[in-house]
Structure 1
Amino acid sequence: MGNENIRSLKSPFPRGSSKGLWLGGVAFTFAIAAIGFALTAIPGLDRLGPLACAILIAVVYRQIFGYPEAIRRGIQFSTKRLLRFAIILFGLKLNIDVVIHQGLGLLVRDVAVIVFSIFMTVWLGKVLKANSSLSLLLGIGTGVCGAAAIAAVSPILKTKDDDTAISAGIIALVGTIFSITYTIIRPFLPGSDLHYGIWSGISLHEIAHVALAGAPAGQDALALALLAKLGRVLLLVPLSFILMYWMSRKNAGQESGDTKVEFPWFLIGFILMSLFGSYVLGKAIPISKSALNGISYFTSFILTSAMVGLGLNISLRDLRTKALRPLIAMSITSVLLSFLSFFIA
């Protein structure tokens, strides 16, 4: 057998340059993410958001054309590495100084929301005999900060890529429905706009959902809504370490297999970026609002590109068999959370 044939057997790619195919895989996730963002210009889809649109495109592509094996390495780079990079950049959205000085009272309510969401979703999942991994991810996403929280804890919980993608897609869809519902019923609710803002911040799923629901109530209500939401984002850090401890205890009795819990180093980056954004950026280093918006847009794009890679792992057969019961559990939890949190806001 010639050297050329030996090289072809060792290569994970069928033909062409490995580097070129790796870049092609990354570019592929970028392209679908860009389409997802472009689709949000269509009325109706703008409510769904680019992340959910991109995941849906990836799922449809997988069902029609299959998984693009030739560029798998590049896609997996987006799924693993770029996902962690996006979580690190996400730290810039968290102003620790504002949360500590103005939102300590909200933090108590945020803790209650997270505990309630996780335990209620997991318990309902058991009652409904739902997939336990999806139920836990959806409970965390509901309680903390949606898809970003799911992406952050997935490496700790060692969940499957398709479970992570399914959970992120469900969170984006259900959160969008809830935020639109909030804006519709707002004029008929008792209480002030400020109360509505706090309620939105402690009960809705993602920052984008809170911004969507809070904006119609005015700038003051929106500011309170985002402050309440940022408190939940801050609590992602201690929650992650609690989950690490839980996984270590859970794996302690196992004698075989990979039982080691990998330390989520990207969370250190998340904390450092939060500190940088809170105390350096905009103070020691002046930066315009448009530049901050650009960084936020870039962060969302990278996160969406990573989710494309996860979406390509989803089989519609698995979606039908695995997602329905966790979706029901998470939806019931979200309704209960909205109702109960209205009285503690």
Structure 2
Amino acid sequence: MTRVQPGVTACLAAGIASLLLQKLVPGASALLVAIIAGIALANIVTLPEWIEPGRAVASKKVLRFGIVLLGFSISLGDIAALGWGVVLTVILTVFIGLFGTIAIGRRLGVSHSQSVLIGAGFSICGAAAVAGVESTIRRKDSEVATAIGLVVIYGTLMIGIVPLVLGLVGFDDRLNGLIAGASIHEVAQVVAVGGIMGGGVLTVAVIVKLARVLMLAPVIAVLNLMERGRGTGVQGSPVPAFVAGFIAATIVTTFVDLPGVLLSAISIVQTICLASAMFALGLGIRFSAFKQVGFRPVLLGALSTLLVTAVASTGMILLG
């Protein structure tokens, strides 16, 4: 405990600082600020050795606790209210995005584990999905860092591109929100786009995005079983404990009228945990490693973004 405490404390401090910045600066996202700060530090300064044990704990255990708490922000009623067409599009986007990315990665010669991590991050919910899925497969730490780095790069590019494109095509606010929520990688990036577009885009986009987040649980369960069948899975429960906790939190929120004060407190703790984990994950990303990775994973990230966006946009236009 003593060995990991300094690193965990540093990451939690960064998470709290990111949350405070979010409160002070309109439009800022604690999670986005945290992961960018972590990446910047990792590539500008030499990190002390004492931070690594705690960083590893924060990037896994603190993250998983934050994912459990994230379940309290998702109500099955809100998602059902979107309509069957939207829910079906979300499901298709996640599974076609994930398994389509794996298939494209195979054609490009990208390793199976790298393709799974990129597909999960791009089709479900960004870095949190990468970190959640990596516990179900045999993978290299460098592959996790690459997938998270690509999520940050492409998702950040979408913050500028999506409002511009949707503004040009002239859809109404609801359809803009449906497409943004179904196609953009991170929750924080969806919030940023919704804030830029204004109107009723933000609320719709966030609900759709949370529906994609909810897909994290069944996807991890399916991947766990598939990877075991391939002989590339890891030992443990088919449904990891944090995924079961996430599902339980969602069920509680749906059927129990929790006090507003309690939900606000949970939201704060959840944001601190996820921001701390994002900072920890950012500290593990070195741009120099991308030189060793090569161009193929970067190309796979671009193609995965296009695939997810195409499926999401088509589905929302036809069924939303």
- Shorter-chain TM band: 0.7 to 0.9
Trace 1:268-287 onto structure 2 (pairs within 5 A). 268-280=244-256, 283=257, 285-287=258-260
| 8 Å contact kept, 1:95–1:230 | no
Alignment counterpart, residue 201 of structure 1, candidates 181, 198, 213: 181
- Match of residue 157 from structure 2: 177
User: Is 1:123 aligned to residue 103 of structure 2?
Assistant: yes
Alignment counterpart, residue 64 of structure 2, candidates 84, 92, 111: 84
- Which amino acid counterpart does residue 286 of structure 1 have in structure 2? P
- Which amino acid counterpart does residue 73 of structure 2 have in structure 1? K
User: Is 1:27 aligned to residue 27 of structure 2?
Assistant: no
Give CA-to-partner distance per residue, 1:262-288, whole Å, 9 cap, x none.
Answer: 4411111111111222232xx2x3215
Q: How far apart, CA to CA, are the structure 1 residues paired with 2:177 and 2:62? A: 33
Q: How far apart, CA to CA, are the structure 2 residues paired with 1:325 and 1:55? A: 25
Which region of structure 1 is more displaced relative to structure 2, 87-96 or 115-124? 115-124
Q: How many residues align?
A: 314
- Match of residue 167 from structure 2: 187
| 8 Å contact kept, 1:87–1:266 | yes
SS of 1:28 mapped into structure 2: helix
Q: How far apart, CA to CA, are the structure 1 residues paired with 2:179 and 2:132? A: 25
CA, structure 1 residues 206+193, in 2 after alignment: closer, same or farther (shift >3 Å)?
A: same
SS of 2:102 mapped into structure 1: helix
Give CA-to-partner distance per residue, 1:11-65, whole Å, 9 cap, x none.
Answer: xxxxxxx62x43212122234445666787889986992243133134226xx42
SS of 2:125 mapped into structure 1: coil
Q: How far apart, CA to CA, are the structure 2 residues paired with 1:46 and 1:292? A: 19
TM-score (norm 2): 0.84
User: Is 1:50 aligned to residue 25 of structure 2?
Assistant: no
- Which amino acid counterpart does residue 56 of structure 1 have in structure 2? I
Q: How far apart, CA to CA, are the structure 1 residues paired with 2:241 and 2:92? A: 27
User: Is 1:322 aligned to residue 293 of structure 2?
Assistant: yes
CA, structure 1 residues 98+43, in 2 after alignment: closer, same or farther (shift >3 Å)?
A: closer
Q: How far apart, CA to CA, are the structure 1 residues paired with 2:281 and 2:191? A: 26
Q: How far apart, CA to CA, are the structure 2 residues paired with 1:320 and 1:296? A: 38
SS of 1:65 mapped into structure 2: coil
Q: How far apart, CA to CA, are the structure 1 residues paired with 2:254 and 2:92? A: 25
Q: CA deviation at 1:229?
A: 1.9
| 8 Å contact kept, 2:117–2:130 | yes
- Which amino acid counterpart does residue 302 of structure 2 have in structure 1? S
SS of 1:49 mapped into structure 2: helix
Give CA-to-partner distance per residue, 1:245-264, whole Å, 9 cap, x none.
Answer: 11221228xxxxx9524441
CA, structure 1 residues 79+223, in 2 after alignment: closer, same or farther (shift >3 Å)?
A: closer
CA, structure 1 residues 109+207, in 2 after alignment: closer, same or farther (shift >3 Å)?
A: same
Q: How far apart, CA to CA, are the structure 2 residues paired with 1:297 and 1:165? A: 26
Q: CA deviation at 1:149?
A: 1.4
User: Is 1:245 aligned to residue 216 of structure 2?
Assistant: no
| 8 Å contact kept, 2:19–2:271 | no
Cα RMSD for the two superposed structures: 3.1
Unaligned runs of 5+ in 2: none
Trace 1:8-19 onto structure 2 (pairs within 5 A). 19=2
- Which amino acid counterpart does residue 28 of structure 1 have in structure 2? A
- Match of residue 15 from structure 1: none
Q: How far apart, CA to CA, are the structure 2 residues paired with 1:273 and 1:226? A: 18
Structure 1 or 2, whichever has the larger Rg, is 1
SS of 1:225 mapped into structure 2: helix
- Match of residue 42 from structure 2: 59
SS of 2:60 mapped into structure 1: helix
User: Is 1:148 aligned to residue 128 of structure 2?
Assistant: yes
User: Is 1:267 aligned to residue 236 of structure 2?
Assistant: no
- Which amino acid counterpart does residue 287 of structure 1 have in structure 2? G
Identity of aligned residues (%): 27
| 8 Å contact kept, 2:35–2:280 | no
Q: How far apart, CA to CA, are the structure 2 residues paired with 1:310 and 1:160? A: 14
Which region of structure 1 is more displaced relative to structure 2, 270-279 or 44-53? 44-53
- Which amino acid counterpart does residue 325 of structure 1 have in structure 2? R
CA, structure 1 residues 168+25, in 2 after alignment: closer, same or farther (shift >3 Å)?
A: same
- Which amino acid counterpart does residue 52 of structure 1 have in structure 2? I
- Which amino acid counterpart does residue 329 of structure 1 have in structure 2? L
| 8 Å contact kept, 1:36–1:53 | no
Give CA-to-partner distance per residue, 1:213-244, whole Å, 9 cap, x none.
Answer: 23455554333322322221222211111011
CA, structure 1 residues 80+192, in 2 after alignment: closer, same or farther (shift >3 Å)?
A: closer
Q: How far apart, CA to CA, are the structure 2 residues paired with 1:152 and 1:314? A: 17
Q: How far apart, CA to CA, are the structure 1 residues paired with 2:186 and 2:52? A: 30
Which region of structure 1 is more displaced relative to structure 2, 95-104 or 231-240? 95-104
Q: How far apart, CA to CA, are the structure 1 residues paired with 2:276 and 2:82? A: 34
Q: How far apart, CA to CA, are the structure 2 residues paired with 1:94 and 1:312? A: 29
Give CA-to-partner distance per residue, 1:307-334, whole Å, 9 cap, x none.
Answer: 4434444444422222642122121221
CA, structure 1 residues 46+84, in 2 after alignment: closer, same or farther (shift >3 Å)?
A: closer
Higher relative contact order (CA 8 A, sep 6+): 2
